[in-house]
A = this chain, B = another copy of it.
Amino acid sequence: MGTVTVHGFSPSGNCHKVRLLLEQLGRPYRWVETRSDIGATHTPEFLALNPNAKVPVLVREDGAVLTESNAMLCWLADGTPFLPSDAWERAQALRWMFFEQYSHEPYVAVARFICGWTPIDSPRRAELPRLRERAHDALRVMERHLAEHGWFTGAQYGVADIALFAYTAVADEGGVALEDYPMVRGWLNRVRATDGFVALPENDAEVRERLAATS
């Protein structure tokens, strides 16, 4: 399939999903750092790649473009153990990936973004109580699933775990504590122990300062 290029912002969980799977597949890739936090997805060049102005964007060697992190995971994992081959099992993995984008990311990821990547006096901080409430709703659904299942993808680790891991692992940065979710914490540790696992990069000093100042 050749070497793919990923335009991504390293601290973004959506972008990290793609990096994590590429690393675990041992696939060569090129990473183009794209500072979505300071408008790099709104340049004419970037909008030509993705009119929806979001990272990540995946580009094949032949120039063909794919957007949406979870669609990238499905494509990269196709034919590998990271995506179930049975249609019903695959649908269950997709179910968690749609859950992630609709019921999890808009709360868990957005709360973290506001805390770490917007000014301390941003009016968006008023959204935090509602976002955190919804984030806990999503975590309760995950906790309940993990009471009976080891993974979200199916019988083994794969794309749905990668999709849900990305922002759950850093939920605390958005003020969403995981202390009430022992099954979720156990699952996070199982993901961290998978072959080829790579963590999100450390936050830079400015982000750490904002996070420390947020409650």
Task: Give A residues with C-beta under 8 Å from B.
Answer: 51-52, 54, 64, 66-72, 74-75, 78-79, 87-88, 90-92, 94-95, 97-99, 101-103, 105-106, 140-141, 144-145
Contact = CB atoms under 8 A, between A and B. Distances in A.
A3 to B, nearest CB: 16
Identify the interface centre among A79, A98, A103: most chain B CB within 10 Å of its CB: A98
Report how many copies the assembly holds.
Answer: 2
A51 B94 contact: no
A122 B44 CA distance: 40
A153 B103 CA distance: 24
A71 B52 contact: no
A97 B52 CA distance: 14
Contacts of A70: 94, 98
A83 to B, nearest CB: 10
B51 A141 contact: yes
B106 A91 contact: no
A88 B58 CA distance: 12
Contacts of A72: 91
A196 B71 CA distance: 28
A90 B102 contact: no
B74 A92 contact: no
Q: Top 6 nearest A-B pairs by Cβ distance? A: A75-B91, A71-B95, A68-B98, A71-B94, A78-B87, A68-B95
Given A54-B103, A68-B95, A72-B91, 16 more contacts: A51-B144, A51-B145, A52-B141, A64-B88, A66-B92, A68-B94, A68-B98, A68-B99, A69-B98, A75-B87, A75-B91, A78-B91, A79-B87, A94-B94, A98-B101, A102-B105
A57 B100 CA distance: 17
Contacts of A69: 98
A99 B52 contact: yes
A105 B103 CA distance: 12
A95 B66 contact: yes
